[in-house]
Structure formats: structure tokens, C-alpha cells
């Protein structure tokens, strides 16, 4: 049975972030957003550990800690004080109030997990076996067909190989999956074989048996161009379970979600930690992209989860300028990838991602920079559960 941890913080964003960090390591999480609520939940829920913020409006963390220690029922519960205060006197005050440990904001997920594990071990709470480590997930969507979505998804995944990561790329385009052809695999039915199963039967071993290994070191779960695949009726639950399981097998897992939004891609994009929306610099693609953004992200949202990438598929002097694209979409452009038809064609003939075959080409350097930006953002967050 997982240890139960009570998190106390009046900042809802901090509650969510810390909760996700701890859930990733297999802990059960209970939350309170005030000192008064914390005292009640500590008594009623019997947590194995309390992570307690200092700065709260109704009652500061020091007073909460003192009251917990004064109550014979809650006195044995270990407490980690968690605050933006960094002065030595603040830490001393926390220990004098009865805290077992002290962490300052912001903290790295690995440090938080280490401190929690250490405090629980000292308190004598038996350690439950943690769930498998969850990797990050990156979704790639095209505003419309033919904008280069597959090229971006494949090469983003390949760029992570240079960072000593273990990426997996997955092609959700059943019946029109060209990603395998880009890698030199004539036909592969791995995605169809997995999604044909009920969600409860999709396990790590199921997926591992369907992965193909490319010479570059990249692993892939592929769809084929066999038209019958498009007739497979799989459930959103199966697709969601596939993503959840792939998180435990590779980091990051990168998904070619095809073009436009449907019932499956709408749900899956919400489960991604980062989403790349690929557009062409022309009015039609921009209108379609704008409509997709309205569905994917509510107006005024500041999550920074969705990134606009412009792909210039042909050299042309008649294209929408980048500042007009940003104005039309209400989003900053994350990357502009130059036209490279000949180089991409050569990479496809070689059955290799262009960032691997020709890393010095401008198209490759732009994709590698994009991967660097995504890597930085992913390290600053914890992979999220499915969004409502």
C-alpha cells in the first residue's frame, strides 16, 4: 500500500505540481490549502508524512507545525517544511516548531523525492515499491495534411538520442503511417496490433514485442499504409493506455498524431506534456491552426504547453511573414524550419532521420534547437496525468 502524503499550500499551482511529483513516485497524495484544513486532514486522513508551506494567510506553517506536535494523535507524523524563505533563521524557526526537514522553493523533483524517502525511512514507515518511472510525452499535430508533421515527429525523437535519452517514436496514423517508410521499414503493424487489444490487455511486454529498432538506436511503434488499418475501431481508453505504458518504456515518447483534431487526437493531445503544432506559412493553414488552438487551449491560457512550428516546405518569396503568423495565431513561434526537400529526400532514401544523416544542415540544426528547448521545458516539469 502506498504511503499517504498530505501537502499543505495556499498556492493551488504549487499543490498541483508537488502532487504530480509525488504521484510519479508512487505516493498517495492528499491536499489542503490552509492551515486550518491541514489540521483537520492530518487528524482524519492519518498521513505518513506532511509537506507544509510556511507562508499561508490564515495560519503560518510554524503555527500549524506546533499544533500538530501538541496533538498526541498527530505528533508522530514527520513534517517537511516547504517555503521560498532561504534565511538560516527561517530554517531554525522551522526546526524549533518541530519540523523534521526543510526544503526551499523551487526544488528539483529528484531532491524532493530523495528527501521524502529519507524522512519516511527515518520515521520507520515501510517503503512501498514505487511505480515505474514515467517519461515525458511529446505530441506532434499538423494543422492540415502534408505540412511535414511526420518529418518533425521523427526528427525530434532522433534529436533526443544525442542527449543520451532513450526516445520512442510512435505513429498513430493507422492506414496512412509513413513514418516507418522514412526509417526504411517497408511495413510494420505494431500500432495496429497493440490498439486492437482492450485497454486492460495493453502492458509493457505487449508493446515491447511490437517495437522496431532502427540502426540509429531509435525505437519505434509504427503504423502501415495498409488501408485496412484505418478501419480498426479502437477505443480512446486503449489509446490512452498505450501512451501511459509507453511513458514507462522510453523518455521521451514522441507521437505523430496526424493532422487536424478528431476524438482520439483531441484526447491524446491533452495527455501530452508538450505539443507541437506544425503549420505552413500560408493563409489556409493558419486559419485551420487557429481553429485547432481554440479547441486545444482556452483563450488566456498560459501553460506554455503548445508550440507553433512553421515548416517552409518550398522556397518561395510569397509567404506570410513570421510576425503576421504570430498575430494571426496569438502564439509566439517556437521554430521556423527552412525548406530542405532535397536533403529530406536523401535522408528518406538512406532510411535515416535527417538530424542523424546530415546534422549540420540548416533544417537539422533548427530541429535540434527545438529539441533542446523541449528538453529544457520537460526537465522543469513533471509529466502530467490526463487533462480534463
pTM score, two decimals?
A: 0.66
Q: Say which CATH number the domain at 44 has.
A: 3.40.50.2300
Asked whether residue 129 is assigned to any structural domain, the reply reads no
Domain boundary among 85, 100, 123: 123
Is there a single domain that holds both residue 82 and residue 53?
Answer: yes
Is there a single domain that holds both residue 357 and residue 301?
Answer: yes
In this predicted structure, what is the pLDDT of residue 129?
Answer: 47
Whether residue 49 is predicted with pLDDT greater than 90 in this model: the reply is yes
Asked whether residue 228 is assigned to any structural domain, the reply reads yes
Is there a single domain that holds both residue 291 and residue 336?
Answer: yes
Is there a single domain that holds both residue 55 and residue 145?
Answer: no
Range of the domain at 207: 137-379
Whether residue 336 is predicted with pLDDT greater than 80 in this model: the reply is yes
User: Rounded CA gap, 87 and 238, in Å?
Assistant: 50
Pairing, β 212-213 against β 219-221? antiparallel
Give per-residue pLDDT as tens, 217-227.
999 999 999 99
Alpha carbon 33 to its chain's center: 26
In this predicted structure, what is the pLDDT of residue 109?
Answer: 81
Asked whether residue 119 is assigned to any structural domain, the reply reads yes
Count of domains for the chain: 2
Give per-residue pLDDT as tens, 136-148.
999 999 999 888 9
Asked whether residue 73 is assigned to any structural domain, the reply reads yes
Confidence of residue 95 (pLDDT cuts 50, 70, 90): confident
Is there a single domain that holds both residue 167 and residue 276?
Answer: yes
> Highest mean pLDDT range out of 5-19, 118-132, 264-278?
264-278
Whether residue 89 is predicted with pLDDT greater than 80 in this model: the reply is no
Asked whether residue 149 is assigned to any structural domain, the reply reads yes
User: Rounded CA gap, 145 and 259, in Å?
Assistant: 5
Confidence of residue 388 (pLDDT cuts 50, 70, 90): very low
Long-range contacts made by residues 117-125, C-beta under 8 angstroms, separation at least 24?
119/49, 119/78, 119/80, 120/3, 120/48, 120/49, 120/78, 122/78, 123/48, 123/49, 123/76, 123/78, 125/3, 125/48, 125/49, 125/78
Is there a single domain that holds both residue 115 and residue 153?
Answer: no
In this predicted structure, what is the pLDDT of residue 249?
Answer: 94
Task: Extract the C-alpha cell encoding 388.
Answer: 480534463
Amino acid at each position: 500500500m502506498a504511503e499517504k502524503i498530505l501537502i499543505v499550500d495556499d498556492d493551488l499551482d504549487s499543490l498541483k505540481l508537488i502532487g504530480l511529483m509525488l504521484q510519479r513516485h508512487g505516493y498517495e497524495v492528499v491536499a489542503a490549502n490552509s492551515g486550518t484544513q491541514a489540521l483537520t486532514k492530518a487528524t482524519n486522513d492519518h498521513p505518513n508524512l506532511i509537506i507544509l508551506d510556511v507562508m499561508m494567510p490564515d495560519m503560518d506553517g510554524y503555527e500549524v507545525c506546533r499544533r500538530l506536535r501538541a496533538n498526541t494523535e498527530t505528533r508522530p507524523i514527520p513534517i517537511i517544511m516547504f517555503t521560498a524563505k532561504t534565511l538560516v533563521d527561517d530554517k531554525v524557526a522551522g526546526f524549533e516548531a518541530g519540523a523534521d526537514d526543510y526544503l526551499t522553493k523551487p526544488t528539483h523533483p529528484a531532491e524532493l523525492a530523495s528527501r521524502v524517502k529519507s524522512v519516511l525511512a527515518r520515521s520507520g514507515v515501510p517503503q512501498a515499491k514505487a511505480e515505474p518511472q514515467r517519461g515525458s510525452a511529446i505530441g506532434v499535430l499538423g494543422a492540415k495534411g502534408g505540412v511535414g508533421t511526420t518529418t518533425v515527429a521523427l526528427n525530434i525523437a532522433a534529436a533526443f538520442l544525442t542527449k543520451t535519452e532513450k526516445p520512442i517514436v510512435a505513429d498513430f496514423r493507422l492506414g496512412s503511417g509513413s513514418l516507418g517508410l522514412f526509417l526504411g521499414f517497408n511495413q510494420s503493424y505494431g500500432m495496429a496490433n497493440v490498439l486492437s487489444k482492450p485497454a486492460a490487455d495493453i502492458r509493457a511486454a505487449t508493446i515491447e514485442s511490437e517495437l522496431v529498432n532502427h540502426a540509429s538506436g531509435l525505437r519505434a511503434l509504427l503504423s502501415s499504409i495498409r488501408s485496412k488499418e484505418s478501419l480498426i475501431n479502437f477505443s480512446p481508453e486503449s489509446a490512452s493506455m498505450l501512451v501511459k505504458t509507453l511513458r514507462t518504456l522510453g523518455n521521451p515518447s514522441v507521437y505523430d498524431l496526424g493532422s487536424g483534431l478528431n476524438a482520439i487526437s483531441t484526447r491524446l493531445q491533452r495527455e501530452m506534456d508538450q505539443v507541437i503544432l506544425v503549420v505552413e506559412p500560408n493563409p489556409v493553414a493558419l486559419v485551420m491552426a487557429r481553429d485547432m488552438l481554440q479547441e486545444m487551449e482556452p483563450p488566456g491560457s498560459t501553460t506554455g504547453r503548445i508550440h507553433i512550428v512553421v515548416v517552409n516546405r518550398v522556397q518561395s518569396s510569397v509567404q506570410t511573414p513570421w510576425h503576421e503568423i504570430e498575430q494571426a495565431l496569438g502564439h509566439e513561434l517556437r521554430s521556423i524550419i527552412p525548406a530542405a526537400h532535397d536533403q529530406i529526400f536523401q535522408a528518406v532514401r538512406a532510411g535515416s532521420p535527417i538530424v542523424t544523416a546530415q546534422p549540420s544542415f540548416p533544417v537539422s540544426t533548427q530541429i535540434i534547437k527545438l529539441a533542446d528547448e523541449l528538453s529544457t521545458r520537460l526537465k522543469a516539469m513533471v509529466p502530467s496525468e490526463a487533462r480534463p
